[in-house]
């Protein structure tokens, strides 16, 4: 069971990247804008124009995919633990990646602040006239109880082993995608 979990965890980040960016890409195409799908982002082609509302939906489409898959996985996981259900549910962990830059606010590192503003959520917040930091904190606050529920739904006697295998697998798959993703989707 742990071997299966590890293999699914390895695939989690590459699949999530493609689905997330695919969400942005499909939204752009839906609005008639030519776009290019890269391994870690979607760029609008020259001359592609989106209205303000279309741009908001284009930005939200990626995180929305994470949310839909994550909530679906969580609803299944609440019924019964399986490695696949867990690996889908942890798509809800997306905002965790923003925690280090959020906590690093006291450091005079402008790159970190710029980094948060450049995220999908940061750009959505800016477009809506909200603070990117407050918006991302709110997203984290929303995700935290759901992530706690995921942990609680794991079989208690194997919880630590499952979380360890999951974390190592996801991190390795993430690093692998950053290294080899550009070969698949430049
Ligand atoms: Zn995105």
One-character DSSP codes across 94-136: GGGGGHHHHHGGGS--HHHHHHHHHSHHHHHHHHTT--HHHHH
Q: Tell me, in angstroms, the distance from the centre of ligand 1 to residue 109's CA.
A: 23
Q: Which pLDDT score, from 0 to 100, does residue 110 have?
A: 34
Q: Find the helix or strand (DSSP H, E) in which 37 lies.
A: strand 35-37
**pLDDT band at residue 171, thresholds of 50, 70 and 90?**
very high
Q: Which pLDDT score, from 0 to 100, does residue 109 have?
A: 39
**pLDDT band at residue 75, thresholds of 50, 70 and 90?**
very high
Q: Which pLDDT score, from 0 to 100, does residue 23 have?
A: 98
Q: Tell me, in angstroms, the distance from the centre of ligand 1 to residue 158's CA.
A: 33
Q: Find the helix or strand (DSSP H, E) in which 169 lies.
A: helix 159-184
Within 10 angstroms of residue 69's Cβ, the number of other Cβ atoms is 20
Q: Which pLDDT score, from 0 to 100, does residue 105 have?
A: 54
Distance, CA of 133 to CA of 60 (rounded, Å):
17
Do 44 and 28 meet the contact criterion of CB atoms below 8 Å apart?
A: yes
Distance, CA of 47 to CA of 56 (rounded, Å):
18
Q: Tell me, in angstroms, the distance from the centre of ligand 1 to residue 149's CA.
A: 25
pLDDT digits (tens, 9 = 90+) for 17-73: 999 999 999 999 999 999 999 999 999 998 888 999 999 999 999 999 999 999 999
Tokens of 79: 């019924």
Buried b (16+ CB within 10 A) or exposed e, 84-98: ebbbbbbbbbbbeeb
Distance, CA of 63 to CA of 114 (rounded, Å):
19
Residue position matching structure tokens 């991302």? 136
Q: Tell me, in angstroms, the distance from the centre of ligand 1 to residue 19's CA.
A: 10
pLDDT digits (tens, 9 = 90+) for 90-142: 999 999 888 888 887 554 433 444 578 889 999 999 999 999 999 999 999 99
Q: Tell me, in angstroms, the distance from the centre of ligand 1 to residue 166's CA.
A: 23
Instruction: Return the DSSP state at 45.
Output: P
Mean pLDDT of the 148-170 span? 96
Mean pLDDT of the 164-185 span? 94
Instruction: Return the DSSP state at 35.
Output: E
Q: Tell me, in angstroms, the distance from the centre of ligand 1 to residue 59's CA.
A: 6
């Amino acid at each position: 069971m742990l071997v299966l979990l590890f293999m699914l965890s390895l695939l989690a980040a590459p699949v999530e990247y493609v689905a997330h960016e695919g969400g942005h890409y499909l939204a752009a195409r839906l609005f008639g804008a030519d776009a290019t799908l890269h391994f870690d982002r979607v760029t609008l082609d020259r001359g592609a124009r989106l209205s303000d509302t279309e741009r908001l939906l284009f930005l939200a489409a990626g995180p929305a995919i994470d949310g839909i898959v994550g909530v679906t996985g969580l609803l299944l996981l609440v019924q019964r633990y399986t490695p696949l259900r867990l690996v889908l549910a942890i798509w809800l962990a997306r905002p965790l990646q923003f925690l280090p830059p959020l906590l690093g606010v006291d450091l005079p590192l402008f790159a970190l602040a710029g980094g948060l503003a450049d995220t999908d959520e940061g750009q959505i917040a800016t477009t809506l006239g909200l603070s990117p930091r407050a918006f991302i904190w709110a997203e984290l606050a929303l995700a935290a109880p759901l992530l706690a529920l995921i942990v609680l739904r794991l079989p208690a006697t194997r919880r630590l082993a499952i979380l360890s295998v999951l974390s190592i697998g996801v991190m390795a798959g993430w690093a692998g995608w950053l290294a080899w993703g550009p070969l698949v989707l430049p």
